[in-house]
Amino acid sequence: MRGKELNNGRMAMIAALGIVAADIFTGKDGMQQLGLGAIRERTSRVALRATAEKGEVFQPAKQMGATAPLGFFDPVGFSKEGDESGFRNLRAAEIKHGRVAMMAAVGAVAQHYIQFPGFEGVPADLAAVTTAPGSYGFAALFILSGVAELAIWKQDDKKEPGNFGDPLGLGQYNEDMRGKELNNGRMAMVAALGIVAADIFTGKDGMQQLGF
């Protein structure tokens, strides 16, 4: 069973890396990558027709997030003029993945030095996912994340994508900080993907990859 767990864990790491990479380059979630995004596409077409009837054309390039030095960056053209619903879905996914990636990138570095009590024998790289009790912690985190997304932090269509209020009361929810969050999230997604890929091919954690 330990051998099966290891093999399943290795396959899961490759699968997760593939899903993340495909999401970054295509903007499609796991199910859409399998061609099962018809419902969302129909919703986007309905929104497009409604916008056209009003005589207003939604412009993705004029939305918040088009910041220097790249400006509006959509080289593959996933964002369509007039498709506000589709743009909101893509932007919500971008913000969500960016926030997760920022925590993941920091965690990949911090876990080299910091381990919780009871987890001293758990590796500091991706092997932690398949090594008990690290695997138990991963399962608990996976469940808690699912509950938070499905029951607590639900996107309100009346608010901007990614707007879940100001839980810490920092008073920094403005266009400048939102732009910085987007850019930091984009960089973090690239960084996290690089850390995971390097870990798979070298077996080194985030800090070991830097020679520490």
Q: What pLDDT digit, counting tens, does each position of 29-75 carry?
A: 766 667 655 544 555 555 545 555 556 788 998 888 888 777 888 87
Whether residue 184 is annotated as binding a ligand: the answer is: yes
Q: For residue 195, which of 119, 110, 125 has the smallest C-alpha distance? A: 125
Q: What pLDDT digit, counting tens, does each position of 154-191 carry?
A: 888 888 888 887 878 888 888 888 888 999 999 999 99
Average pLDDT of the segment spanning 181-206: 92
Whether residue 7 is annotated as binding a ligand: the answer is: no
Q: What is the pLDDT of residue 124?
A: 87
Domain of 157: which CATH number?
A: 1.10.3460
> For residue 25, is pLDDT > 80?
no
Whether residue 97 is annotated as binding a ligand: the answer is: yes
Whether residue 181 is annotated as binding a ligand: the answer is: yes
Which domain, by its residues, includes 85?
A: 2-210
The total number of structural domains in the chain stands at: 1
